[in-house]
Homo-oligomer: A and B are copies of this chain.
Amino acid sequence: MTLTVGLDADDTLWHNETFFADVQQRFAALVGHYIDDDAATLMAKLDVRERANLAHFGYGVKSFTLSMIETALELTDDRVSGRDIATIIDMGRAMMTHPVLLLDGVQETIDALATHYRLVLITKGELFHQEAKVAASGLADRFSAVEVVSEKDVATYAGVLQRNNISRDSFVMFGNSVRSDVLPVIEMGARAAHIPFELSWGHEDVDADGFPVLASIRDVPEFLVALR
């Protein structure tokens, strides 16, 4: 049986949370000119707004940018200047167009995996931005399918497998989010392993164990050989 390897993208193949963390710091510095709260408090308030807005605006940079503007207005009682609002939008625009930085070991590992397995990229977020990042990554032709989804739950993975004629017992998923890349795949009856990234968004953190954890994407080929 030929295995199909599912791979997450943001913070599994390339940097993402790094850019968010940087912009959150700059947001805190900007709002810190108006009120006395420290950076951690300001970022925590942004996080609350961001999670509340998931239900209205979904994941991704544009939703995050709107959340930054709303939080800046709320925290300053609407005193934040028009110039600073424009700066926030420019921060969002820069996030949409920043270069794609592959994580360590990704290029050679994906090249090696592509010679032995069918690879499927499964990524959550905004269609427009995710497609742009896939194109810019230089990895697009290694994947037999690229699936951009709005949420990663059991139904989503079942749909991806069905659309691509993949059986559950031949599918193995790898990603940095236990919540999105590991637990729903195992619940569906396929296999998954966690590849932690140094940064994670609290929304994606869950307290769970009982699944394989790899130190690096470089360990994926050996992990797959051991499964056979």
Contact = CB atoms under 8 A, between A and B. Distances in A.
A123 to B, nearest CB: 11
Contact of A92 (B66, B81, B83, B128): B66
Q: Oligomeric state, in number of copies? A: 2
Contact of A96 (B57, B85, B128, B145): B57
Nearest to A164: B163
A65 interface: yes
Interface residues on A, range: 35 or more
A129 interface: yes
Contact of A85 (B57, B73, B145, B149): B73
A61 to B, nearest CB: 8
A76 B128 CA distance: 30
Contacts of A136: none
A126 B129 CA distance: 10
A97 interface: yes
A120 to B, nearest CB: 12
B129 A58 contact: yes
Contacts of A60: 128
Given A126-B127, A127-B150, A89 B62 contact: no
A80 interface: yes
Interface of A: 56-60, 62-63, 65-66, 69-70, 73, 76-83, 85-86, 89, 92-93, 96-97, 126-129, 131, 145, 148-150, 163
Given A58-B126, A126-B127, 7 more contacts: A57-B62, A62-B62, A69-B85, A73-B82, A73-B85, A78-B81, A79-B82
25 contacts: A56-B93, A56-B96, A56-B97, A57-B128, A58-B126, A58-B128, A59-B128, A62-B62, A66-B89, A66-B92, A69-B89, A70-B89, A73-B82, A76-B82, A78-B81, A78-B83, A78-B86, A80-B82, A82-B85, A85-B85, A126-B127, A126-B128, A127-B127, A127-B148, A128-B150
